Structure 1
Amino acid sequence: MGSESMEDISGSLQKLDFHHPYTPYHVQEQFMRTVYNVLEAGNGQVGILESPTGTGKSLSLICATLTWLRAYKSSRHEVALSAATSNIQDEPEWIIDQMLAQKRDELLREWEDRERRLEQLRTKEKALETRVHKRRRLEERPVGRETDDEDAAFLLQDTESPGSGHTDALSGLSKESREILGRFGIGGATSAETPVAEQLMDEDIKIYYTSRTHSQLSQFITELRRPTFPPSLPKSMTEGRDSETEAVKLLPFSSRQRLCINPSVAKLGSVQAINDRCAELQQQKSSQKCPYVPKDELLSQTHEFRDSALASIPDIEDLHQLGKSLGVCPYYASRTALPGAEIITLPYPLLLQESARDALGIKLDGNVVVIDEAHNIMDAIANVHAADIRLSDMKRAKGMLGVYVRRFGKKLGGVNRVNVGRVGRIIEGLSEWMQQATQLKQDNGIVDANDLTRHKGIDQINMFELIKYIHESKLAFKIQSYVAHVESENDPKGITRSSTPVLHSLVAFLVALTNLSSEGRIFFERTAEDVKLSYLLLSPTHAFSSIADNARAVILAGGTMSPFEDYENHLFPSLAKEKVTTLSCDHVIPPENLCVRILAQSRPGNPEFEFSFQKRSDRDMITQLGLAVVNACSLVPDGVVIFFPSYGYLDEVVSMWQQNNNGQSIWSRLESRKALFREAKGASSDEMLAAYTDAIIGTSSTGRGALLLSVVGGKMSEGINFSDRLGRCVMVVGLPYPNIASPDWKAKLEYIESTTYEQLTGKAIPPNEARAQAKASSRDFYENACMRAVNQSIGRAIRHRGDYAAIVLVDKRFGSERIRGKLPGWIRSGMDKSNKDKNLGELMSSLGTFFRNRK
């Protein structure tokens, strides 16, 4: 946003109470004011905000967004009350006042009724427990087959109109269940027959909060329970009241896999199998209806589930347990709480996929979207649209289809027989291409989609129609269920059974084929044992546009968001610059608690450290690196963590360090100073972290500390806290650029360069200048990916206000202004201003002074 508007609004927000449960730091105040500013401006505003881990980012997000929401709703109520009397301005003043007082009373009564009901539910645990004991235990309720015909569970239902299935928020439910949920306003208008006493006030504007993992969402909900917020009523209606707070109405959304309480469905394990089986049990022709889906006889339980969810601040486990105790499906019943919720939490895939939002009844229009841990949002978008299949999968799929057709072929109706045949042709065609790929000279590359679909006439099949049929008939689930049934009978111990959902993987890949555009590519990769086809989304722009174009405001927040340019250029490329607000907060630690140095060479006159792909195998440079680490470990107390560019390079360095040099290896010298730990690809990070921690502060600690050799982008570089004694020094060796020779990165960079060139020439920029700018854009994207990974690794060290650590960047390239500019602001502020390129002697002097002053 423009600096003038920022200053004006910020000035008015200086005295705003954000209802923070503690006394906020200056950086937290700055962060909350910026978030509030973006939300208040609305109209498609975007905030890209960086607040280092340990600065209370989640709590600041909560306080800023909910303070704004309550203030916004209060002002909306005031405007609505004024509008209600605007058409009677010609009447006497006492009539207008009386009308206004009546409207205020109606609003207050409705608000009080809701709050009273929710408060009663908060104290109703004993009554709920009594009900649980009266109800039959969940595990004792029969959900088994209700037909003697074993084939019925696996046979495809005959239908001559495969396109007639539902695709709205209640997709897959029976007519009865759709009508029940429709009474709550889910999937249709609220029924006039629904008693007013059973309705709750709808919240017109909501905050959708998403993060990467289930544990991060749980932590957010825990933080949400700390602060209290004022009522959403106008202040004139709450003055002098006993209660000046209003509980937050939270609804956590999740998948069936986490919420299903039907034992026979939940035990299936995979997301695809659970989704298909759940939907199958709701079909009107199904002889095995799920007993937990909301219906007339569960109406009171569904109401109680809705109200209980909004009365507390539940996490996913709480909703699952609530559904079990009431005997109603939490996956479907939670949707009835959506209209009354103020804040909805959900994992990345449920927000980023438009089809998932539609299935849950989520409408982003005019609402606020908050994306936390947003440094990996572009990768997350690519992942939810990615798909891959293997030649070994296709061989198994062919075998499964054969088993199924031999058993049920004669019982399949016309539509089913035709579409099963089409699936068979696709399996044959893809297998044929992949079999031929085993003879190709190169091991990987880009695949032309037309070449891929030419085999066995796949290109003659209407893929959209077939995918729709597969989803509605549950073909993949039926076939895989039957094959699993046959395998369990032939092999009761499950020795040869496979749980890999190969047919679901095939369907996902077919969906990707239909989505092919300039933004996507298909790649092949050949190994000694297999061939894999993968679909990769090259740009997140189109996939994210349904969020960016509809939301009132979007907040991207993270601990390490720098550099910011990629989010602006690839998530919001057409957004006016004045609609984007960026902020990089300082850390809450005092300046003397951070020491950032660049190690450019071992000593004056020696070759400089440059761990580029061409130079990093230099034996002398690796030896000098080892000596630098030995010296650092002599000065740094407790834990030292070193991040290398890749597992391969880490192995190469360790191998060289272990070789004897003048009778003693660098490795043995390191062992004499610190307990040594080394991250291995695929190994358990929990076990290594526990052993590393124990060596520093546990029972096996000898006081000398420990050294952990890790990898940028590995398990230790994200989500692991090396706080306090675990990370007194973090070193980053080299710049971990992605492999530019890999087919996927070549395709990404070519895509960015070509699309940027087209955009620039469309603006009448001369071709030569446009080409140069396009190349610079692709270079920036490549460089930014590297620096985001570096910044994530750096962020592992300082985790709270009292923490302190040294950060050493080992490579002369870190000294360039271009690279330094892509580091977070709080890291740059900790750098030595006098000399950006240090040698080992100067580094040791700085580290010695730093740690002596911390004692």
Structure 2
Amino acid sequence: MPPPPPPRQDFPAFPFATYPIQTEFMSFLYSALSSGPRALALLESPTGTGKTLSIICSALQWLLDHRDAASLGHPERANGSAPAAVGGEDDEPDWMRDFTLQPLPPKKDIRKKSETHPSRRHGTKKVGGSEKSEGIRENDDEEEFLLDEYESDDGEGTGRQAGKRAHCGGASSSSSSSSESEDDEDEEEATPKVYFTSRTHSQVSQFVGELKRTNFSGKLRTVCLGSRKSLCINTDVQKLGSATRINERCLELLKNKKSSKIKLRAVLSHLEAYLNRFQNVLGAGNRRYIQTLTVLTRSFLRCLISNEDCSSAVTSMTINKFLFSLDIDNINIVKLCQYLKESNIVHKVSGYANKLFITENGVCNLNHGQQHGEGSSITSFQALTDLLRSLLYCNDDGRIIVARHKPGGQPEDAYIKFVMLCAEKTFSEVTDDAHVVIMAGGTLQPIEETRLRLFPGLLPSDIKFFSCNHIVPPESILPIAVTCGPSGKKFDFSHSSRSSLNMIEELGRFLCNIVTIVPEGIVMFFSSYEYEKQVYDAWMASGTISKISKKKHVFREPRSSVDVEVILNKYKEAIQSCSKGSGDTSVNGALLLAVVGGKISEGINFSDGMGRCVLMVGLPYPSPDDIELMETIKHIGNYSTSSVIGDDKPFNGNDECKLEPGFDVLRKSGKSGREYYENLCMKAVNQSIGRAIRHVNDYAAMLLVDSRYAHTS
């Protein structure tokens, strides 16, 4: 068996002359990919050093080398990876299913979606062990909503669908489908594959743009996966804003239907209507599971009703407490989730609910339906399914967050959400199956925190780590901790002091001085949209904005992602027009007010004149009122309280997590929990100020406006 190819030192696909740190970065990544399987590497390189292009040229060069080795008669490498398919014309129908780099299964058949078998429409249909009832026979159009008989193995908690489902594509195990398989096409899946993932869609878009600059774009197939919220091209849908509303609207448009958001109450009504109509012809297994779903849905609805005796509308519970409080701990959630996976219950119930609405209101009134759009119903059913699956985790793996509906509040304010606390369990699904996992970023340190959170089972020596300095010389960067304002007032933008009108006015005077001496573009980051609005409104009232406008055009980061590109283009055009000397000669650039963790702080380049100065106002600590974050910090910091129990302790009715104020949680948390909270802040600072330095000839000033930046801790 031939050894793996040696690490490359040359990467011809890189479209520019490489800097030494870029060559080192690519060579290290190539070596890490060659050292699999189950290898793990962390590569840290500052923002603006060309990480994206380096990752592309190194990873895809390894991929081509790997496939070339397979085409030369070496189908397997020493690391055990599978042969790679040569050529690029085969379809990949499984790309949405697989998130791993894995070998080809033997004799894998991928078939085209076929039409419903004629036997579904002709002959006698047996459901639940008996022939169709007279009622179904009189309404043949309702037959499509019937579930096939479901048999559950009580001892093992598994089930099987007895018979062929009506609307499922794929191969059938019955002999009657043998004649159809002659026309099916077998497709070979190309392996290995490289998956590039990122936290923001702007970085994914940047990745695609950088890929097009290399010659790999003509050699390898690429598909960009993302949410409808970020990639939908329908402007009317994008205006909806909410990710849930956008998802539902897309589903509705695909079916040429319109409807409003489906609530949990509507899901319950759909289940009840379906069970009432078909309970006499459904098998015992289907009836039992649909009844169980109905009971669970009623319990979840009851949980969302406000309790007048409860001092807080938001509650955090362990999984056990949640089940016990709703009296559903005796329900086998494992078997129920198996049923949801194997049966076609979601589509059957949603389809029947949609038919009922059309029958009662007519097709012409379908656009005005409030609760019976099939696409919205499916989305709500999927949310219910996800919640049920989360209940399968161990008791201490996560928390159930329940926000109850209060009188006078909005219905959408009530929700049930599962928060995963054990990141290593989720991440292990990737590391266990992938050939190699590469984590690259500008702020990966402290490495020990990353290791303990994501892969605590690995020793530090098992992790390959690469780090390098910036390509920009030190004299091109001017970092300054600004501790006080022009009048000598100490800058303190902590949570208790930042809303002071005197503090905001002092910040305004400082900014008025900065805009007169810094040319071109200035980006000013605030800790939140709310604080940015508070400062902007105060400056508008005091006349500070009008003073700044005499030197800089002022722009604000929009909350909607749809408007971000428009604002950025206007910001860029304003700077370019000033540089060319056109327009008002007294105006020397533009000011952009942005938010840490918003649309602009990650993945956006403010190179050259777009960002000659970056101002960071305060330390952007996450809000201590974020209950999900506080639960995570409790978990990381081994924050223990007698009100939280584990699976190994008997239930005593007190394992509802006490919602203490966030600052109290931080004070009582262990050292690792506090460090995690502080690291979130400093990583956000690094991400934001790194937007301004994007290439070797770039330069900028970074002004950290808060007296706490002058302290060592």
| 1:492 maps to which of 366, 374, 379 | 366
Contact 2:639 2:670 in 1 (8 A): no
| 2:16 maps to which of 22, 33, 36 | 22
1:36-92 alpha-carbon deviations (Å, 9 max, x no partner): 343344464432223344433222123323444566678899997999xxxxxxxxx
Deviation at 1:467, TM superposition (A): 1.4
Distance 1:722 1:537, change over 3 A: same
2:196 corresponds in structure 1 to 209
2:275 corresponds in structure 1 to 405
Distance 1:82 1:524, change over 3 A: closer
Distance 1:205 1:589, change over 3 A: same
1:621 corresponds in structure 2 to 503
Q: Residues 809-820 of structure 1 correspond to what in structure 2 (within 5 A)?
A: 809-818=704-713
Q: Residues 312-711 of structure 1 correspond to what in structure 2 (within 5 A)?
A: 393-437=263-307, 440-454=310-324, 457-488=327-358, 490=361, 491-497=365-371, 499=376, 501-526=379-404, 528-530=409-411, 531-602=414-485, 606-660=488-542, 665-682=543-560, 684-697=563-576, 702=584, 703-711=587-595
SS in 1 for 2:439: strand
1:443-476 alpha-carbon deviations (Å, 9 max, x no partner): 3231243443346642221111111112222222
Distance (whole Å) between structure 1 residues aligned to residue 305 and residue 90 of structure 2: 66
Deviation at 1:557, TM superposition (A): 1.2
Aligned alpha-carbon RMSD (Å): 4.8
Contact 1:696 1:725 in 2 (8 A): yes
1:733-772 alpha-carbon deviations (Å, 9 max, x no partner): 0111112243222211111122899xxxxxxxxxxxxx99
Aligned AA for 2:527? Answer: P
1:101-146 alpha-carbon deviations (Å, 9 max, x no partner): xxxxxxxxx99xx97x76999xxxxxxxxxxxxxxxxxxx999999
1:237-256 alpha-carbon deviations (Å, 9 max, x no partner): xxxxxxxxx98554648599
1:156 aligns with 2:147: yes
Contact 2:692 2:700 in 1 (8 A): yes
- Structure holding more helix per residue: 1
Q: Say which is worse superposed, 13-22 or 561-570, in terms of deviation.
A: 13-22
1:235 corresponds in structure 2 to none
Distance 1:526 1:215, change over 3 A: same
Contact 2:7 2:34 in 1 (8 A): no
2:694 corresponds in structure 1 to 799
Aligned AA for 2:545? Answer: W
Distance 1:143 1:730, change over 3 A: farther
Distance 1:222 1:599, change over 3 A: closer
SS in 1 for 2:524: strand
Deviation at 1:695, TM superposition (A): 3.1
Distance (whole Å) between structure 1 residues aligned to residue 311 and residue 267 of structure 2: 27
Aligned AA for 1:696? Answer: I
Deviation at 1:203, TM superposition (A): 7.3
Distance 1:647 1:272, change over 3 A: closer
Alignment gaps of 5+ in structure 1? 1-11, 84-109, 122-140, 183-190, 230-245, 259-268, 279-390, 758-770, 819-855
Q: Residues 250-269 of structure 1 correspond to what in structure 2 (within 5 A)?
A: 250=221, 252=223
Contact 1:695 1:701 in 2 (8 A): no
SS in 2 for 1:492: helix
| 1:46 maps to which of 40, 52, 62 | 40
Distance (whole Å) between structure 2 residues aligned to residue 164 and residue 437 of structure 1: 41
Length-normalised TM-score, structure 2: 0.70
Alignment gaps of 5+ in structure 2? 1-5, 78-82, 92-113, 122-138, 153-157, 230-244, 255-260, 642-665
Distance 1:14 1:745, change over 3 A: closer
Deviation at 1:505, TM superposition (A): 1.1
Distance 1:67 1:710, change over 3 A: closer
Distance (whole Å) between structure 2 residues aligned to residue 716 and residue 756 of structure 1: 38
Aligned AA for 1:616? Answer: R
Aligned AA for 1:465? Answer: K
SS in 1 for 2:41: strand
Distance 1:495 1:727, change over 3 A: farther
Distance (whole Å) between structure 2 residues aligned to residue 25 and residue 394 of structure 1: 56
Q: Say which is worse superposed, 448-457 or 778-787, in terms of deviation.
A: 448-457
Deviation at 1:510, TM superposition (A): 0.8
Q: Residues 720-735 of structure 1 correspond to what in structure 2 (within 5 A)?
A: 720-735=604-619
Deviation at 1:598, TM superposition (A): 1.5
| 1:717 maps to which of 597, 601, 604 | 601
1:315 corresponds in structure 2 to none
Distance (whole Å) between structure 1 residues aligned to residue 23 and residue 468 of structure 2: 10
1:570-606 alpha-carbon deviations (Å, 9 max, x no partner): 11223222232333433444444332222111259x3
Distance 1:782 1:418, change over 3 A: same
Contact 1:487 1:494 in 2 (8 A): no
Distance (whole Å) between structure 1 residues aligned to residue 316 and residue 529 of structure 2: 26
1:107 corresponds in structure 2 to none
Q: Residues 49-60 of structure 1 correspond to what in structure 2 (within 5 A)?
A: 49-60=43-54
Distance 1:149 1:120, change over 3 A: closer
Contact 1:430 1:453 in 2 (8 A): no
Aligned AA for 2:544? Answer: I
Aligned AA for 1:574? Answer: G
Contact 1:429 1:455 in 2 (8 A): no
Length-normalised TM-score, structure 1: 0.59
Aligned AA for 2:565? Answer: D
Distance 1:591 1:172, change over 3 A: farther
SS in 2 for 1:720: coil
Q: Residues 32-181 of structure 1 correspond to what in structure 2 (within 5 A)?
A: 32-42=26-36, 44-68=38-62, 149-161=140-152, 163-164=159-160, 173-175=169-171
1:390-417 alpha-carbon deviations (Å, 9 max, x no partner): x983322222223333433433332222
Deviation at 1:566, TM superposition (A): 3.2
Distance 1:154 1:724, change over 3 A: farther
Q: Residues 772-783 of structure 1 correspond to what in structure 2 (within 5 A)?
A: 775-783=670-678
Q: Residues 187-336 of structure 1 correspond to what in structure 2 (within 5 A)?
A: 207-212=194-199, 216-217=203-204, 220=207, 223-224=210-211, 227=214, 248-250=219-221, 252=223
Aligned AA for 2:532? Answer: L
Distance 1:676 1:406, change over 3 A: same
Contact 1:694 1:701 in 2 (8 A): no
Distance (whole Å) between structure 1 residues aligned to residue 594 and residue 205 of structure 2: 28
Paired residues, what number?
588
1:489-512 alpha-carbon deviations (Å, 9 max, x no partner): 522333535526222211111111
Aligned AA for 2:16? Answer: Y
